[in-house]
Amino acid sequence: MSHTGTMPSPLQITVSNANLKFVRQPTMVGHYRSIALTGTELAMDVLIGGTMTSALRGGLYPDLPGSQQIFINTHANHDNPMQPPRPGAVIVVGLGEEGKLRAPMLAQTVRQGVMTWAQRTLGADTTVSSFELASSLIGSSGTGNPAGQAARLVAQGVREANIRLIEIGWPTVSHLHLVELFLDRATEAWRSLQILATASPGEYVITPFLQAGLGGLQRPLDPSYRGSEYDLISAMTQQDNHGESLIAYTVDTRRARTEVRAQATQIKLLRELTTSAADDETSDRQIGRSLFRLLVPLEMQPFLGGSDATLLELDSGTAGIPWELLDASTSDDAALAIKPWAIRTKFLRKLRTVDFRAVVQDANADAHVLVIGEPRCDDPALPRLPAARAEALDVAALFAKQVAKQSGSVKQLICGNGPRDVGPDARTIINSLLERDWRIIHIAGHGEPPDAVDQNAADAGILRPAADPRGVVLSSGTYLGPREVATMPVVPELVFVNCCFTAVGDGTKVLDAPPSGRPDHASFAAGVAEELIRIGVRCVIAAGWAIEDNAALTFAHSFYDALLDGNRFIDAVATARTAAWQLGGNTWAAYQCYGDPDWRFVAPSRDAQQAQRSSEQKYSGVASWRVLLLALEEITVESRYPGYDKARGRQHVGYLESRFQNVWGTIGSVAEAFAMAWVQLDERERAIGWYSRAIANNDGTASIRSVMELGNQRVRLALDKAERARSAAVASDSDAATIAATTTAAIDAARDDIKGALLMLEQIANLQPTIERNGKCGSAWKRLSLLEAMANDAVAEMSAIAQMKRWYDNAEVLARSTNHPDLYYPALNRMAAELLVDAGSPAWPGFDAVSVAEVRDSLAAKTRDDPDFWSVVGVTELRLYEALAQRALAPVLESIMAEYATLYERVSASSMWSSVYDQVRWVIPKYKLRVNATESDAAQSLIDRLAVLAST
């Protein structure tokens, strides 16, 4: 197996427009650090039984570049139980924080993931020399890494892995399958790889054409490369060629691709506005409007001002800017009607840091909650804080209501209400901090700025923050700051510090300007929150300036109330800001909120992955009928496969229908798309209404398939209605005559509907015959035969079965002439009809031997190359039909039942076995009328035993 000393063969690469859930190869996906699995990761997790989510909650999930973990899929293949689990395994590679991934890091993490899987492959089978691997376009949902670049970097990472694998004699990747759900992104990836292959002759061989796989879609509803539900905008400090400070913006929104814009500004003016804005007594909205125009480039203002959810990435030079106060309105009159930007937008900050804890062990859902309120303070200059005490009690009470629902308990360290109460001292607080794992820490008390400034510098008007950030004031001249939190082996997920002067950023460091001038509130926005972020706390809230008591209490209460209700961090922050803003003042803007937008406080018994957007949120970007088609296509494709939540699908289509049917319902292709979606969601009557509109619309954009499907659905609905009417009549207390009359009327109405639909179906099938069209005609005649059997009209029933046989025979002829792999399907239906209309005649010679052999070969090829339930059960059905044709079921009954039982052990879905049972129950009764008692008993035994399989 060793390849030592040789270069790898060219890497074969195929790009497919498909859904990863249908990929058989081990599949590699990337993970940006987050509390929840989304997109591709979530889909993979569902397929393999949730082990990825378990690893994430347990702190064992890879998130740093170069880290990886393998998850073997031991779950059954729900889409096709006759085949092995798909994918066989999921290889997750870490990508770090979104926005920080660089091209070399991506190639490296892919390389390490490939080598880890190669090692696993070697351990399972030492004779293996190569393997195939599938991968998503890893990292392409993040900032600045479009699909084409992601495809090249994944390919390069695999190639680099192969070189190293050859050196050590391990198996190499022979074929890389890059799988992308959306056609436009898959096309971009394929084109980019063509360039890579041309630039690197002899290293890559790209499949000549983009492959169309199962479940592929044309493109996302929103023409974006972001998988997240928020816009990511970074504002970083740069310097131009003259040493002047600039703010460089990188925009990655759901409406525009990544782009960079630089905005120059006067530092002195910016610092003056920043200092004035970051003041608890400021109520001048003009400062916010001035900051907006001063800071944001003109061409970027629509993106920033029009975003409904924004994650703003900052550095130390831009974090001191009070972004929350930016105002996009243009006048005082407009300001009266327009909410501030950070109220209209769900807004969070994100801090880009170079220095951070390399390995972070997050608290899990079983960790506890620590609430600290008005801790003991020995400094006589610092007054009592009854508002801090009230806030802490309120927060603790909110969590206390959840104790029965959450596994974690709440510990309260809150000052008493008596005049002599002094609150918990430093030792009590520090001991409590370190005694157990905390998931959430909430602190309300006095905040202290960084260590005393150098007096000479202060005399010179220069403020220099010291290295010690101090933090929350405790007893005996001590503080609770980032150094204390850093000693915790397990890092809290959320720290809320409701004290003045503890937020990220320093007004004197705006754009890295030399600190000068008088101290102000913003200048005391020291390093506590910044240091918490550095050590790995996922979500941090801290106040950037003095805050008003009532508004502060309102913010905290509203935030935790929303959080405990299951809302995401970004949504809870938005709720809290709005509640505080309604009280006036600017306390609502003082809170700097950093963190993971998707983080939730969820009990172990609940699943954070299941939170879903409303239909209104999901389809807010539908702005044209072509985008509406994409939305309906997505629902139609996804709902074809097991595991899809059809109830939620009905909500989505119902919303789209109510919103857009009067706008674009007269477009034929739109009406057809609605009909197709309703069919997959088992809403036949609504589908028929839309198919009727589709073929009646004058624009001619509906396909001829609409006519066939309209007829097909009308036939099925007519029989369903008749069966329901008969069942309802029998279950009623009516007399026999009334029951008969009701049933007859229902049958007559259904007969008219089916015959009208048949006229439509046969016209199209005669005009241009296809296997499918002939099959639909055969299916319609079969249902008419069932209706005539219900009416006890044997002559009409047999006539309908004869027509069924004719149409399925036509389909079989076409399938044979084109060597269609599904020849067995129309052939088995034709054979069933032949058993009913011909086998009773003494002159019937039996099935044609050549035809039977062709059906057997078709079934063997299908079960060998692409087996599914229907091809495997078809093998047994063919044996059954041959036995019935020879009137010799009894001798083979037990072997036939053994085959059914073996299949049932692999696939037990009642819906599938009900179809098998219904088919046998349709064929067998007439067989029993023409055979001896032994054969009749065997036939009845078959029905009875299949009934058990269909009902369990």
Peptide bond into 87 cis (omega under 30): yes
Confidence of residue 35 (pLDDT cuts 50, 70, 90): low
For residues 168-183, average pLDDT: 93
pLDDT range class, residue 264, cuts 50, 70, 90: low
Please compute the mean of the pLDDT values over residues 165-185 and round it to a whole number: 92
CB proximity list for 798: less than 8 A, separation 6 or greater: 785, 836, 837
Given this model, what pLDDT does residue 344 score?
A: 83
Please, what is the average pLDDT of the chain? 82
Helices vs strands, H then E, count in the chain: 33, 22
pLDDT tens-digit series, residues 214-263: 888 887 765 444 455 677 888 888 776 666 777 887 776 654 445 556 66
pLDDT digits (tens, 9 = 90+) for 265-285: 655 566 666 666 555 455 556
* For range 86-101, the mean pLDDT: 84
Range scoring the smallest mean pLDDT among 25-29, 491-495, 574-578? 491-495
How much is the pLDDT for 224?
45
145: left (phi over 0), alpha (psi -120 to 50) or beta: beta
- Residue 13's nearest CA partner among 200, 141, 165 is 200
pLDDT at 888: 96
Q: In this predicted structure, which of 460-469, 493-502, 690-699, 783-792 has the lowest mean pLDDT?
A: 460-469
Which helix H or strand E contains 646, and what residues bound it? Answer: helix 646-664
DSSP 8-state secondary structure symbol assigned to residue 289: H
Coil vs helix vs strand at 428: helix
Per-residue pLDDT reduced to its tens digit, 424-454: 998 998 888 888 888 899 998 887 755 544 4
pLDDT band at 883 (very low <50, low <70, confident <90, very high): very high
What's the confidence (pLDDT) of residue 336? 41
Give CA–CA dist 265/287, Å, rounded: 15
**Greater pLDDT, 285 or 192:** 192
Residues 197 and 4: beta-carbon distance below 8 Å: no
Q: Model's pTM, two decimal places? A: 0.64
Residue-level pLDDT at 695: 94
CA of 932: how far to CAs of 445, 740, 927, in Å?
A: 93, 34, 10
Which pLDDT belongs to residue 521?
Answer: 40
* Token pair belonging to 732: 């009623």
Please state which of the ranges 169-178, 329-338, 361-370, 794-803 shows the lowest mean pLDDT: 329-338
Q: Which residues contact 604 (CB under 8 A, 6 or more apart)?
A: 57, 365, 366, 407
- The pLDDT, as a whole number, for residue 519 is 37
Q: Are 923 and 835 in contact (CB under 8 A)?
A: yes
Per-residue confidence (pLDDT) for residue 886, from 0 to 100: 95
